[in-house]
Amino acid sequence: MVNPTTHYTIQDTYCVDAIKEYWEEKRLEVISRLQGKDVVLLGDGRNDSPGHCAQYCSYTTMELDSKEIVYVTKIKVVEFSTDAHVQIGALLNPDKGKYKELGIHHSLDIWHGAKNLSKKIAAAGKLKGQSILLHWLKDVVNHFWWCCKTADTFQQFLALWIGVLHHVCNQHTWATGSCQHDHLEDTHGKQWIERDSQSHKALVSIVLNKRWQKNVHKFLRFRSTSHLESFQNHILMYASKRLAFPPQGYQSRVLLAALDYNFNCMRPTYRTAEGQQVLRKKYNKNARRYSLYALNCGKSYDYIPELQARIVKGRVGSGVGMPRKRTLCPDDPRQLGVVPPIPPPPMSELIHTHVSRGLGSAFDVATNIQSD
């Protein structure tokens, strides 16, 4: 319908500001609902490319109870749950972190912890003679979730956690404790792991890893950012990592994704005429087993006509036509141009040091060309 230049001119002139203003209004409504409440936030960052050459990083904060995307301001934050990012942990360190005076408790996401544990067991299970670990992967990860939810201190967690090393060997009572489950009538054909076998030693090294245990106390509030991870994946619908976007366009796309998520995050599950939930199967390639999830009702996009009306109103009310040339915003990083990390040396120095592959220095190349 239009060429790229016209498309981006329309976007920058009429759409970007309308999206920002609309997002700000809806965000303030969320903030007003959180006034006077001790807020627990979930945080996670997302780069705009699948590799290590990202241009932009969008960092998202989500309120734990409502699962709404918010921006941290004017509310009392008492806890912040993130993935195991070293720099964030250092900033929120209660003893020597930069923000220790704020008194914000730093929790680690139980979902990331379980995922990391699952990867380690899956990697060990792929080694020769240790495939039995793959059959116990789901059970060990579930036991981790249960220990974090049950324990209040690290000592309580450790007492419960080491039980899995005995349970997988069909030993349910040991010198310092016992399993908390009822009598097992059926193990669903699962093979027990032989104590002190190669597989058991591999599991012991994972379960009792000292470095991993140092951060266990941050899991004990049982916070999960799975909904936030779902939103990060949701952004792909608006800003694919396979495409490059200008700064204003990328920011607007992320805000559109946040609006979409906030308007539809509390959708009920779909039910049949008889009131039964509709379930779907999902395959986990690490655990090599299927699981079920509930199907949600369809989305509602009632906010789109209002946003479209604002964009059209901005065009009609501008009183001037569309600019023929696109201008960059003052805060656009492209205003800086290409900024190399070091200043350029003199041209004479570059000519002296430049070597052409197979031909020698640049001076020699120029001499050869003149001679020819």
Long-range contacts of 179-188 (CB under 8 A, 24+ apart): none
pLDDT score of 207: 92
Q: Which residues of 199-217 are buried (b: 16+ CB within 10 A; e: fewer)?
A: bbebbeeebeeeeeeeebe
Is it the case that residue 357 has pLDDT exceeding 60? no
Q: pLDDT digits over 35-63, tens only?
A: 888 899 988 888 888 877 778 888 889 99
Report the percentage of the chain scoring pLDDT > 90: 32
Q: pLDDT digits over 106-164, tens only?
A: 999 998 899 899 999 999 999 998 999 998 998 999 999 999 999 999 999 999 999 99
pLDDT score of 122: 92
Task: Give the mean pLDDT of 85-109.
Answer: 88
Averaged pLDDT score across all residues of the chain:
85
Is it the case that residue 310 has pLDDT exceeding 60? yes
CA R_g for the chain: 28
Is it the case that residue 288 has pLDDT exceeding 60? yes
pLDDT score of 230: 87
Confidence of residue 165 (pLDDT cuts 50, 70, 90): very high
Q: How far apart are CA 218 and CA 225, in angstroms?
A: 14
Long-range contacts of 313-317 (CB under 8 A, 24+ apart): 314/14, 314/17, 314/18, 315/14
pLDDT score of 370: 47
pLDDT score of 141: 92
Q: Which of 179-188, 191-200, 239-248 has the lowest mean pLDDT?
A: 179-188
CB 12 within 8 Å of CB 326? yes
pLDDT score of 362: 46
Architecture of the structural domain at 4-109+223-311: 2-Layer Sandwich (3.30)
User: Would you list the domain boundaries of the chain?
Assistant: 4-109+223-311, 112-180+189-219
Q: How many CB atoms lie within 10 A of CB 137?
A: 22
Task: Supply the angle between the helices 247-264 and 303-316 in degrees, to the nearest 10.
Answer: 140
Is it the case that residue 277 has pLDDT exceeding 80? yes
pLDDT score of 118: 92
pLDDT score of 372: 45
User: At CA 143, angle to CA 138 and CA 146, rounded to 5?
Assistant: 130
pLDDT score of 331: 72
CB 42 within 8 Å of CB 65? no
Task: Give the mean pLDDT of 211-239.
Answer: 89
